[in-house]
Amino acid sequence: MIYEMRTYQVQPGKASEFLKMYQEQGLGIITRYATLIGCWTKESGVLNSVVFVWAYEDLGHRGSQRAKLAQDAQWISFVPSMLPYLVHQESVFLSPAAFSPLK
């Protein structure tokens, strides 16, 4: 299993609006292709940030699932509604340690 920690820095004061829009319009689409482990807002570090953790079998699975997502007509029409909120985006891949509860 591999995890993708995807962090979106959003416009100041827009995190709750972004999360509502994402939940109502985007979440049902992307969860066809990835397993959501959790979603958080940051209270320290780079503020106005939303962190998603997605699970995939491995990097190959992640690549094929993201390719399918990129071809999904609903996702393609959703992405432009997300862009005005974004300041910065970052993806980090995490591999669990042998003793990690999430494997």
User: CA dihedral defined by 41, 43, 45, 46, rounded to 10 degrees?
Assistant: 50
- Please state the domain extents for the chain: 2-94
Give pLDDT tens digits for 60-91. 999 999 999 999 999 999 999 999 999 999 99
| CATH annotation of 2-94 | 3.30.70.100
Element of type H or E holding 43:
none
Statement: residue 103 has pLDDT above 90: no
Give pLDDT tens digits for 44-65. 998 999 999 999 999 999 999 9
- State the average pLDDT for the chain: 96
